[in-house]
Amino acid sequence: MTQDVYPVPAEWARTARYDQAGYERLHGRSLADPGSFWLEQAKRLDWIKRPEMAGDWSFDEADFRINWFADGKLNVAANCIDRHLASRGGDVAIIWEPDDPAEEPRRITYLELHQEVCRFANVLKAQGVKRGDRVTVYLPMIPEAAFAVLACARIGAIHSVVFGGFSPEALAGRITDCDSAVVVTADEGRRGGKRVPLKANVDAAAERAPALQTVIVVKATGGEVAMSEGRDIWYHEAAATVSADCPAEPMGAEDPLFILYTSGSTGKPKGVLHTTGGYLLWASLTHELCFDYRPGNVWWCAADIGWVTGHSYIVYGPLANGATTLMYEGLPNWPDASRIWQICDRHNVHTVFTAPTALRALMKDGDEFVTKTSRQSLKLLGTVGEPINPEAWRWYHEVVGEGRCPIIDTWWQTETGGAMIAPMPGATDLKPGSATRPMPGVDPQLVDEKGNVLHGATEGNLIITRSWPGQMRTVWGDHERFFQTYFTTYPGNYFTGDGCRRDEDGYYWITGRVDDVINVSGHRMGTAEVESALVLHPKVAEAAVVGMPHEVKGQGIYAYVTLNAGCAADDALRAELVKWVRTEIGPIATPDAVQFAPGLPKTRSGKIMRRILRKIAEGDVSSLGDTSTLADPGVVDDLVANRVS
């Protein structure tokens, strides 16, 4: 483990909002006097009714509750748009960079954003969408994706964005789970010069999603699509008939803002619910603190809006802060590995925020793709989504940032709404691979398996002892599952599912998930989900899926499959199973290795010993541990002998 320290550059220490002492005071105050601290922070938002109470919560079973600013009223879209109109209506809110570099970018001012969002809101209303209704958004990375979510927020509807890479099957499950009558989609998406048949996917999903009544279709590529009479409408036609003004609905701070499905260690994906006041405060505050955001800086979060990073740091945090946020339709390495840096040059990007997996892929293509670009506008570099290996960190720092840009490695989760452990550029000395120190209000602790709190430099499971405003409030439709998943492993605390080390300077080093969630290219995937998809195949009797180390993706998906009697275990079937999983879930779940296994290692009570499967997938077969408790220890030899490398 590296102990290199990269001190705060003098320039940042001088100019940033907080230096190290400032951070210590801020964090200290947030924990010592949370009530007044958070009411003061709440002033950064524009309230219709200003809250008089901050956090009201308990993680204990008897009076389990999480509320923030519950007596306040506000509207998220008004905070992200309307309140900026007087001072910076003519400033660019969104820069949109198209997939094809030969096409012209779009620049949307706050004034234009206001009109676009109002129109979108009026279209939704005309389709019968009311406060509290769920609207599924299945769009590519086009400005309409931002308009659609903000339009929902404006009228108090709850959006559920589904990543465009999910299959019709996965989309149908998400539409049905939250009983969403309306889907907003596009004819097609574009990524890396390829077309994604979004509307056709919605058509296929509709067959399995009886709740769906209306499909609003944005014309993005002009590609041919089938329109179903009575169900499908073109957005541009509907938008032409509505007003460009729409009042913002006054919402309670604890009214739902959005649902975002994410993978857990068991069962189907969970609908993570975020609410209005606390979430927006958290997204906006962390955007400002981690990136010392200043008006005029061009901010680029290179995530997809289908993930929480896109929600919090393409749309809500930056727009609440009146920022210019860049939205990119395509892939970081298309047409070639210079693209991401060319976009930085083209738009004078001040801060770029991306995932380690993208950096590792770009690194492999060689430094020339970076060095031939200017990058002089870049002042800060962010990462998120998975542990960053020190090698990628150093490459980002030295080759991309030429040693002058601090690396902001933000640890957080869909559940946390925004960054939880992350540096602040003027305050935090950096160590490659460490997300460094907690944000204000965040009290992380490390515990052992039994829940004993570990002190000092140590390693354990990461828990958060108190609520913070951006915390998820429930699992949609299953409050019991919310409590069970996060608050029963270490009663009275929020369990993150991550392992973590803390060093002698109090720096946190996330070591990865300790549950059955894997992190593939920065995307969360439940091994149980991939297993359920595999066993749906008629030839598969049983499947067990684990993560394996992968040079670019961070983790890859390794599937052990037991076939039904009489089915031939050959390469053709292997390819078919890979395709099958892609169809069931989507390309992000593509297995990297499929091993046919005549039997899986099970205890006598029938429980699969995943520890052994993980070791074999990792290629670490010398230390399989005690296998004597297995019902049939012989299966292990076969698994080792037939490992797919």
401 is in an annotated binding site: no
Minimum Å gap between C-beta 519 and ligand WTA is 5
Judged by CB under 6 A, the residue of 147, 166, 341, 411 near ligand WTA is 411
Residue 640 forms beta bridges with which residues?
none
If the CB atoms of residues 497 and 526 are measured against ligand WTA, the closer one turns out to be: 497
Please tell me the distance from the alpha carbon of residue 405 to that of residue 442, in angstroms, as a whole number. Answer: 26
412 is in an annotated binding site: yes
Specify the stretch interacting with ligand WTA by CB under 6 A; choose among 23-31, 207-215, 411-419, 451-459: 411-419
Nearest Cα to 278, choosing from 293, 256, 298?
256
Cβ–Cβ under 8 Å, residues 39 and 452: no
Minimum Å gap between C-beta 352 and ligand WTA is 15
Using CB under 6 A as the binding criterion, the count of chain residues that bind ligand WTA stands at 23
**By the rule CB under 6 A, 119 interacts with ligand WTA:** no
433 is in an annotated binding site: no
Radius of gyration of the chain (CA): 24
Minimum Å gap between C-beta 366 and ligand WTA is 25
The distance from CA 13 to its chain's CA centroid, rounded to whole angstroms, is 30
Question: 214-273: which residues touch ligand WTA (CB under 6 A)?
Answer: 262
Beta carbons within 8 Å of 43's beta carbon, 6+ residues apart: none
245 is in an annotated binding site: no
Looking up tokens 């005690």 gives: 626
Residue 561 forms beta bridges with which residues?
543, 596
Minimum Å gap between C-beta 524 and ligand WTA is 4
**79 half-sphere exposure, CB direction, 13 A CA radius:** 29
If the CB atoms of residues 68 and 486 are measured against ligand WTA, the closer one turns out to be: 486
Minimum Å gap between C-beta 333 and ligand WTA is 21
* Segments of 39-114 assigned E as strands: 55-58, 65-68, 73-74, 92-97, 106-109
**Distances in whole angstroms, Cα of residue 154 to Cα of each of 46, 163, 302, 501:** 14, 22, 25, 42
Judged by CB under 6 A, the residue of 82, 409, 516, 531 near ligand WTA is 409
Q: Do the strands 517-520 and 508-513 form a parallel or antiparallel pair, or are they unpaired?
A: unpaired
Specify the stretch interacting with ligand WTA by CB under 6 A; choose among 59-67, 213-221, 491-499, 536-544: 491-499
CB count in 10 Å sphere of residue 64: 13
Judged by CB under 6 A, the residue of 159, 350, 502, 513 near ligand WTA is 513
Minimum Å gap between C-beta 169 and ligand WTA is 20
If the CB atoms of residues 72 and 306 are measured against ligand WTA, the closer one turns out to be: 306
Cβ–Cβ under 8 Å, residues 202 and 171: yes
Please tell me the distance from the alpha carbon of residue 532 to that of residue 528, in angstroms, as a whole number. Answer: 6
If the CB atoms of residues 340 and 435 are measured against ligand WTA, the closer one turns out to be: 435
Question: 353-392: which residues touch ligand WTA (CB under 6 A)?
Answer: 384-387
Specify the stretch interacting with ligand WTA by CB under 6 A; choose among 45-53, 142-150, 209-217, 301-309: 301-309
Judged by CB under 6 A, the residue of 129, 362, 435, 447 near ligand WTA is 435
Specify the stretch interacting with ligand WTA by CB under 6 A; choose among 107-115, 214-222, 241-249, 409-417: 409-417
Minimum Å gap between C-beta 561 and ligand WTA is 26
Please tell me the distance from the alpha carbon of residue 407 to that of residue 428, in angstroms, as a whole number. Answer: 10
Please tell me the distance from the alpha carbon of residue 31 to that of residue 440, in angstroms, as a whole number. Answer: 8
If the CB atoms of residues 142 and 407 are measured against ligand WTA, the closer one turns out to be: 407
If the CB atoms of residues 322 and 441 are measured against ligand WTA, the closer one turns out to be: 441
Judged by CB under 6 A, the residue of 321, 324, 410, 562 near ligand WTA is 410
Judged by CB under 6 A, the residue of 79, 276, 286, 413 near ligand WTA is 413
Please tell me the distance from the alpha carbon of residue 193 to that of residue 215, in angstroms, as a whole number. Answer: 25
Record the tokens describing residue 89, joined without a space: 């209506």
Please tell me the distance from the alpha carbon of residue 332 to that of residue 101, in angstroms, as a whole number. Answer: 12
333 is in an annotated binding site: yes
**By the rule CB under 6 A, 560 interacts with ligand WTA:** no
Minimum Å gap between C-beta 424 and ligand WTA is 15
The distance from CA 465 to its chain's CA centroid, rounded to whole angstroms, is 22
Write out the DSSP string of 126-161.
HTT--TT-EEEEE--SSHHHHHHHHHHHHHTPEEEE
Nearest Cα to 524, choosing from 356, 415, 385?
385
Please tell me the distance from the alpha carbon of residue 145 to that of residue 159, in angstroms, as a whole number. Answer: 11
Please tell me the distance from the alpha carbon of residue 56 to that of residue 344, in angstroms, as a whole number. Answer: 42
If the CB atoms of residues 189 and 387 are measured against ligand WTA, the closer one turns out to be: 387
Please tell me the distance from the alpha carbon of residue 99 to that of residue 391, in angstroms, as a whole number. Answer: 29
**By the rule CB under 6 A, 412 interacts with ligand WTA:** yes
Specify the stretch interacting with ligand WTA by CB under 6 A; choose among 26-34, 93-101, 510-518, 629-637: 510-518
Minimum Å gap between C-beta 458 and ligand WTA is 18
Q: Do the strands 214-218 and 232-234 form a parallel or antiparallel pair, or are they unpaired?
A: parallel
Specify the stretch interacting with ligand WTA by CB under 6 A; choose among 45-53, 136-144, 365-373, 511-519: 511-519
Judged by CB under 6 A, the residue of 414, 428, 521, 555 near ligand WTA is 414
| H-helix or E-strand spanning residue 324 | strand 324-328
Specify the stretch interacting with ligand WTA by CB under 6 A; choose among 119-127, 335-343, 394-402, 509-517: 509-517
What is the largest distance, in Å, between two alpha-carbon atoms of the chain?
73
List interacting residues with ligand WTA (CB under 6 A).
262, 307-309, 384-387, 409-414, 435, 496-498, 510, 512-513, 519, 524
Annotated binding residues for CoA, written as ranges, equal 191-194, 309, 333, 521, 582
